[in-house]
Structure 1
Amino acid sequence: MKVVSLVPSITEALFDLGLTENEVIGRTKFCIHPGDRIKNVPIIGGTKNINIDKIKALQPDLILANKEENIKEQVEALMDDFKVTVTHVETVEDNYYLLKTLGNIFNKEEKAQLFNLKIYEVLEQTKLDAPVKAAYLIWKNPYMTIGSDTFIHHILSDIGFENIFKDQTRYPEIQMEDLADAEVIMLSSEPFPFKEKHIEEMRVFYPDKKIMIVDGEAFSWYGTHIAKCEAYFKGLLAEIHAIQR
């Protein structure tokens, strides 16, 4: 089966499940994993600006899209000519069924189940001893955070953080003063590429808070990615435990 993936984390999952460049025939420019194998797969634009003509030229049997990451009108235009599966992943349970579905589609049921079991194991074995109030920022100018109906929120919660914006939804804009209740401020490496200089800017307002850059992929890439984040999460939680003592 020839497939085009419009979702970076799903592209990674397809290769993790055992598909090859002969089956994954199209990807977005943000599909960067696995780096050694993805380089041979043609790029069909970005997640928000798909080149429909390029996809038509590839003639895939299936296109994999996502409700949040892709533009509805572009996906609907593809549906006129191709079979399109639109995914929506908000919780770890949603992710379980995503991998189960991919396993069924591509006859990789056993591998999909192994990844699902590993993800639950990682989340079960990497937990804070006591909840820590956290703010997770995804954007600057304006500052934006995450509400309770996001995959990031559920990963944060599963490893023991309390999202101080859990009473909000989607990706609300916030002001610097809204971060006052956070014990830890997390600046994600994506989609906005927060750097050390942004930590220093925040320290002017919050000199005593723990402010840190976190790996955005570890929190936002659903599919198989979290199965590979055990060491990262353990290192992150060790840092938090250090400030709790």
Structure 2
Amino acid sequence: MRFHYTFTDQMGRTVTLPHLPQRIVSLVPSQTELLFDLGLQDRLVGVTKFCIHPEEKVKEKHIIGGTKNFKLEVIDKLQPDLIIGNKEENYEEGIASLQEKYPVWMSDIYTLEDALEMISQIGQLTRTEAKAQELVQGIAAGFDVLQPVQPAIPTAYFIWRNPYMAVGNNNFIDHLLQRCGFCNVFANQPRYPEVSPEQLQATNPKLILLSSEPYPFQEKHFAEFQEMCPEAVIKVVDGEMFSWYGSRLLKAPAYLQEVVKEVKQGIAH
């Protein structure tokens, strides 16, 4: 079966591969996990320091720096024949430098549909179509039965502290909030706005979700949010389940359904 050499990535750019990729570098944690789940462990040579799943297997790979500061000399030594990145998680200058030397395929994810398309396309790039379709179908089936809370609950989702940063619109977390029936009170803001206590109070959320990543929110932070919004239900959530758009999405619907259930109980009380 002849390998298809030319692909279009999710940023609309043409990516030409000289042959079936054998030396892949991944610049995005959720896509790294996907590559392992597609059975590409032996063809994946480089990952970022933030690529933490699957825990034991990523330790065997070369670290090429962070998602926003690549060690270009390390990547050069690895001589990749495919680099897989993401528009939001990586930085333009670094990607531009890599594109001068290597085939770079970029994802651009805003919705579940975008994520499923990314999984399918990486399956085509790497000749793992059957496994990719199995993942896509499993993820789609899980989200088909996710029951959102009704009526929608005004919700603030925080990703950072000092300064407070929340999730705005036009990003994957906002999309998953909507899927759960959580109406993002900052949906009229840029993608990740800084939020003052006064702004938070003005939106009057009934629910405040504190993400476990990138800032490691914990229950000890509840008091400061409760002081700003005494009536709100506050909950720490697994940030990976709301923001990772690779094969981890197989686990997300069951987790999100549990969050919806706990939130309904909390608000009822």
* Interval of TM-score (by shorter of Structure 1 and Structure 2): over 0.9
- 1:233 maps to 2:249: no
Counterpart Cα distance in 2 of 1:79 and 1:38: 24
- Which consecutive unaligned segments of at least 5 residues does structure 1 have? none
TM superposition shift of 1:173: 1.1
Unaligned runs of 5+ in 2: 1-21
Cα distance in 1 for partners of 2:158, 2:212 equals 9
Note if contact 2:148-2:179 (Cα within 8 Å) is conserved in structure 1.
Answer: no
Mapped contact 2:149–2:182 kept (Cα < 8 A): no
- Shift of residue 134, structure 1, vs aligned partner: 0.7
Mapping of residues 208-227 of structure 1, within 5 Å: 208-227=231-250
Of residues 128-137 and 117-126 in structure 1, the stretch that sits farther from structure 2 once superposed is 117-126
Match of 1:193, SS? Answer: coil
> Which residue number corresponds to residue 179 of structure 1?
200
Shift in Å, 1:91: 1.1
CA distance in 1, matches of 2:183, 2:222: 21
1:139-177 Cα shifts (integer Å, max 9, x gaps): 111111112200100011112111111122211111123
Matched-pair contact (CA < 8 Å) for 1:126–1:237: no
Decide whether the 8 Å contact of 1:95 with 1:222 is kept in 2: yes
Match in the other structure for 1:106? 126
Residue 78 (structure 2) pairs with residue 62 (structure 1): no
Letter in 2 for 1:116: V
Distance 1:154 1:86 in 2: 20
Q: For 1:24-103, what aligned pairs fall within 5 Å after superposition? A: 24-103=44-123
Equivalent residue in structure 2 for 1:148, among 163, 169, 175: 169
The reply on whether 1:158 has 2:179 as its aligned counterpart is yes
Instruction: Read off the aligned partner of 1:189 and give its amino acid letter.
Output: S
Q: Give distance in 1, aligned partners of 2:164 and 2:242.
A: 18
Task: Tell me the distance in 2 between the aligned counterparts of 1:91 and 1:169.
Answer: 16
The answer to whether the 8 A contact 1:123-1:159 is kept is no
Match of 1:127 among 147, 151, 158: 147
Instruction: Give, as a single letter, the amino acid of the residue that structure 2 aligns with 1:197.
Output: K
Three-state SS of the structure 1 residue aligned to 2:228 is coil
SS in 1 for 2:118: helix
> How big is the shift at 1:95?
0.8
Amino acid at match of 1:232: Y
Q: Does 1:19 align with 2:50?
A: no
Q: In terms of mean alpha carbon deviation, does 201-210 or 144-153 score higher?
A: 201-210
TM-superposed deviation, 1:224: 1.3
Indicate if the aligned counterparts of 1:5 and 1:26 stay in contact, CA closer than 8 A: yes
Q: CA deviation at 1:108?
A: 1.4
Structure 1 residue 208: deviation in Å? 2.7
Deviation at 1:185, TM superposition (A): 0.3
| Structure 1 position 188 matched with structure 2 position 208 | no
Q: How many residues align?
A: 244
Cα offset, 1:205, TM superposition: 2.2
Amino acid at match of 1:66: N
**8 Å contact 1:188–1:216 — kept in the other structure?**
yes
Q: Which amino acid aligns with 2:189?
A: Q
129-138 vs 204-213, greater mean Cα deviation: 204-213
Q: What amino acid sits opposite 1:234 in the alignment?
A: Q
Find the aligned partners of 1:183 and 1:208 in 2 and give their Cα distance.
Answer: 7
